[in-house]
Structure 1
């Protein structure tokens, strides 16, 4: 294909809308029960070079005497763009809608009812605080139970904290003072504060009483509307990157409006995602260890608000049984409770899938709610819960050959299956074949401390090879390393398969969804165990799929996936013919002083971390030995490097280090530099450029 055709293909594949949120209201009419579903979608637009959001309304009609059976689904309304919206929230009783917008650099907080706009606050002009946080880590927009107050998180005003402006006392000497931030993708987040809007008095204030050594976020109202719960991340002695890191020391707090604050969770733990039950009696939240793996299996805790007793609802799963629940690895949706306050519903990784689960508080039994066995022609590899309200679950489902689709289903009676209803079929599906591979390492590659672990992968390939007897294979490796490649829609994978390539995505030991033992097994083994796992998965795929061409293999990946890609072409120099990597870790020793997650640099190499750590010769030597740069002299495959100039997680100088090493040896290498992008290379124009250049690079060298 020509570049213009590839751009058109990218626009098609990346432009499929995906459901990102939903809200459900209920109404009882004569003989029927009406459910109204407002779904929010996200979509990439190449013309604007940005991502759009829009809403769509659905009306579901159920029988009054059997309201858990959907009788009729009315055609949806026309999609409506959600321009300039940063956050939105609906009140549960009066169905008021609060919206935070960015209009010409001003943050406006609007409140809408059935008649129109009822309140509007120019938060920027009021100057009580800095910019409002809209990110998933800290941000929130929460209605009080009385529906007269709103809660949100914003940056503390530097003026109010004594820093001043030019001309004020201390202004000139303090204007260049360094302010720590919370790292990659949170670079403008430093000192968050909890803010309250009183809709009766039309006032906006900042709550006092938050401990000075914590940064608050994920706030929600207590049932009495006179206090709030929040998560506080400890930021002393200094801040570590929070994005993708569930191992940061934090606690659950309760703060009264009069300023008295109380810690509700234990010491030296990592907690997140507080969710209040509909009856206001119980708060659940996720809990994990501090430091160690940056992402790990978490326990689900429940706090009885009357007795103040905390108990474990779901514990960490060390080694899941085949086909069983494998633990919680992901954030809880904002609404995750059943109407009777007895069940919690959530999505989580399970081996090569992303599945949907329910835990009953009375029995503590976990059940899978997905229906992948009911329709063999449509198996979804990914189930993501958007919300559950009034016992109606709204989920987004996808597979490697099926873009995201919107489905709904009521919580079932005990032992029964969910009757799922698809509301919005994807615009199109693709004639790709995909299959799961379960891989067991041979005895010589077993981990002595965590023996007997296996791992997985899945293969996506064209149904009909494009005029060739054998299909080239691209090995696509996820980053993290403690994350997952679920069998879900991925436009890069779809594009490569559409162009006639097969793609193998490997969940090596250390990936989420295989239990905590698998995650811990990788500590101190990076550059060895994970490299051998990927190579073993590739050999397994070649042995079990004769249609794959063993002489035309390429490897791609980002971050730790780039680390593994560069290791593979260095350790197996005659095996792979091309490599394309995004923001790869090349030299862990030189990365130590530039990464926002310095703790992980020690942990991954097998060393304990403390804030006062000073690099030792032993630690630096181990990091260097485990890095791809130690194999750079053996690399033969042409390498495409794609680097973000604003990457705080993996400095772009990592890629530059490999670039110079390869250039000095006359090895084929090309470097793309994106000065305005960060670690994820997530800007729409950047993604387009990376896809185009990766495809052309693979075509040239395969």
Structure 2
């Protein structure tokens, strides 16, 4: 297989796929400023079929706001932990890990100091709560300012029939409460794809001096708490609460879920701090403890929206808009906030907030001035990379992960310019994966022709990224593989108008945009073989891939789809994000809504299954048996439709995988099968 002779059109925003976080140790000051910190990475180990997390350490000698020297990088070391966090002073580190005790899996909270292990709590044996949350939606591990308490989120403890619970017990106020056994057969909702088993989160506080763990009382039962942080010098907690009534909708990758900011003190008194009709996320406290910045959006509608960045004045108890929703943006201009804020995002003077966000086909690091709201780009990705993602800010040192389609992620650091001296940041490369693939790439912006305009949102553009072999490896015509998601109209990074333009137009506008991108590239590059074009994608990308081979049956020679949406009408009752089925086709959603015959007809007409009879390209389907977002029976529906017409189709069923098909053995199997499928049907010898 000669993969160097395959050309890819990538229809997704360039992303970093390294697992880097917790770069938070305080710097040490002497004649020069010495900063040491471990960095967490991930590496696939194919023999064992696992991903191995590991750390690297960099020692930076700094003078004022300049990195003067980088000491040689020491050997990497492997570790296994769920969460970790440095204390405010940088002298202690909290770790939550899993380990086996007497053949049974236990979770431990450990506190490490300069001389080794200081404290250890067997959380499983304490039996105050269920498993600790480690996900990106709810999880936290926060030190109190006094460094004697740790705040985290865990699953609520359930009283099962196997436990010999006393018939009554006393709560912290001394009141008698009755403990009832839970029926093990009662259905427990969870928060959907990627959050299986996470149903009723609770806030937990580990008191290191008293060596005890307590679950916070007073959280309203109709909300699920998460993303918590200490407030009022450790006397209270601010958290995000997601409404779990009347039932839970999938939360992962969905910024449109009803939620609000709450404050709770350690006596259980809870207060609502924001409006309860929107969605909020990413609360981040300023170093001077006077300001709280957070993101806010609408409920329902598109799952990824352009968000407001809000500023909360803690003393005045009032919120104001720091960054508004961007409806449209010019080429290369700031296009709005779409991504969660990094855990540490404030400058040390509490005057600037730093964040990264999609901008066209790239991701860019920006800053916003707290007083003026002025937004400016911080790192120019066009110099060397395609995208940059801010990981954290440590004592005014920005830590950024940079990558491009032909260059794996690497770290770049630089000090924030002072407010008085706005000089250009001096960037220093720390290094990363020492690999640079031998192919070229190109950032493309496309304007739809007049006949494909959305007249309600006219004048929108969209993007694509072209990957192709470098000039030295070309030999004859090159087949083209269209890898969706293209940044079609409706994608993040192009303003809210672009996102709203897709509502009611799925299956048409997005399909036409992908096809227009393919035609544009074929016409602009004569080295491409228009008779050997294949398409692949997952989820909504799989939805589009199957649409393309149905709407343009003579154009594509092969298709590979991972967990594709095939029939939105039959998906209504099986998806954790049932609201998308309505909003995407232009219908209003409410919890008590039942599908009408007219709604089901609309969903069916906008689905790939409506074009299944025209499909003649060979189709490879890859389905996760535990997918809660797009039922695997969606793909099975297309498989049966194609089999009945004797159209070439092959189905791979990964019983233990979910929507992302993320298990290592699944990923490698999918990759090899896709490559072989395209090699066979594109005549790649």
- TM-score, normalisation: structure 1: 0.91
Partner deviation per Cα, 1:606-633 (whole Å, 9 max, x = no partner): 1000100011000000000000000000
Structure 1 residues 238-387: aligned runs within 5 Å: 238-373=247-382, 375=383, 379-387=384-392
The worse-fitting range, judged by mean Cα deviation, of 131-140 and 34-43 is 34-43
Q: Per the alignment, do residues 172 and 24 of structure 1 end up closer, same or farther by CA in structure 2, a change over 3 Å counting?
A: closer
Structure 1 residues 66-465: aligned runs within 5 Å: 67-83=64-80, 85-104=81-100, 105-159=105-159, 164-165=161-162, 174-373=183-382, 375=383, 379-413=384-418, 415-464=422-471
1:516 alignment counterpart: 496
* Structure 2 counterpart SS, 1:89: strand
CA drift at 1:94: 4.7
Partner deviation per Cα, 1:659-698 (whole Å, 9 max, x = no partner): 0000000000000000000000001110000000000000
CA drift at 1:418: 1.7
Residues 331 and 360 in structure 2, CA contact (< 8 A), matched pair in contact too: no
Q: C-alpha separation between the residues in 2 aligned to 1:139 and 1:173?
A: 26
Q: Per the alignment, do residues 278 and 167 of structure 1 end up closer, same or farther by CA in structure 2, a change over 3 Å counting?
A: closer
Q: C-alpha separation between the residues in 2 aligned to 1:80 and 1:56?
A: 7
The worse-fitting range, judged by mean Cα deviation, of 410-419 and 513-522 is 410-419
Q: C-alpha separation between the residues in 2 aligned to 1:18 and 1:398?
A: 13
CA drift at 1:44: 1.7
Q: Per the alignment, do residues 221 and 166 of structure 1 end up closer, same or farther by CA in structure 2, a change over 3 Å counting?
A: closer
Structure 1 residues 289-688: aligned runs within 5 Å: 289-373=298-382, 375=383, 379-413=384-418, 415-464=422-471, 468-478=475-485, 506-688=486-668
Query: Per chain length, whose mean CA-contact separation is higher, i.e. which structure has more relative contact order (CA < 8 Å, sep 6+)?
Result: 2
1:693 is aligned to 2:673:
yes
CA drift at 1:80: 1.5
Q: C-alpha separation between the residues in 2 aligned to 1:209 and 1:16?
A: 38
Residues 23 and 37 in structure 1, CA contact (< 8 A), matched pair in contact too: yes
CA drift at 1:57: 1.4
Q: C-alpha separation between the residues in 2 aligned to 1:671 and 1:416?
A: 57
Q: C-alpha separation between the residues in 2 aligned to 1:282 and 1:556?
A: 46
CA drift at 1:569: 0.2
Residues 195 and 204 in structure 1, CA contact (< 8 A), matched pair in contact too: yes
Q: C-alpha separation between the residues in 1 aligned to 2:361 and 2:594?
A: 39
Q: Per the alignment, do residues 128 and 666 of structure 1 end up closer, same or farther by CA in structure 2, a change over 3 Å counting?
A: same
Residues 15 and 43 in structure 1, CA contact (< 8 A), matched pair in contact too: no
Q: Per the alignment, do residues 18 and 136 of structure 1 end up closer, same or farther by CA in structure 2, a change over 3 Å counting?
A: closer
CA drift at 1:449: 1.1
Q: Per the alignment, do residues 51 and 320 of structure 1 end up closer, same or farther by CA in structure 2, a change over 3 Å counting?
A: same
Aligned residues: 654
Residues 284 and 292 in structure 2, CA contact (< 8 A), matched pair in contact too: yes
* Structure 2 counterpart SS, 1:623: helix
* Structure 1 counterpart SS, 2:146: coil
* Structure 2 counterpart SS, 1:300: strand
Q: C-alpha separation between the residues in 2 aligned to 1:167 and 1:18?
A: 42
- TM-score, normalisation: structure 2: 0.93
Q: Per the alignment, do residues 623 and 288 of structure 1 end up closer, same or farther by CA in structure 2, a change over 3 Å counting?
A: same
1:27 is aligned to 2:28:
yes
Residues 86 and 101 in structure 1, CA contact (< 8 A), matched pair in contact too: yes
Residues 381 and 387 in structure 2, CA contact (< 8 A), matched pair in contact too: no
Partner deviation per Cα, 1:245-264 (whole Å, 9 max, x = no partner): 00000000000000000111
Partner deviation per Cα, 1:334-386 (whole Å, 9 max, x = no partner): 0000010110001110010011111111221111111335x4xxx21110111
Unaligned runs of 5+ in 1: 4-13, 479-505
CA drift at 1:167: 7.0
Residues 158 and 164 in structure 1, CA contact (< 8 A), matched pair in contact too: no
Residues 364 and 381 in structure 2, CA contact (< 8 A), matched pair in contact too: no
Residues 465 and 471 in structure 1, CA contact (< 8 A), matched pair in contact too: no
Partner deviation per Cα, 1:375-399 (whole Å, 9 max, x = no partner): 4xxx211101111011001111110
- Runs of 4+ in structure 1 over 3 Å off: 14-21, 163-173, 464-468
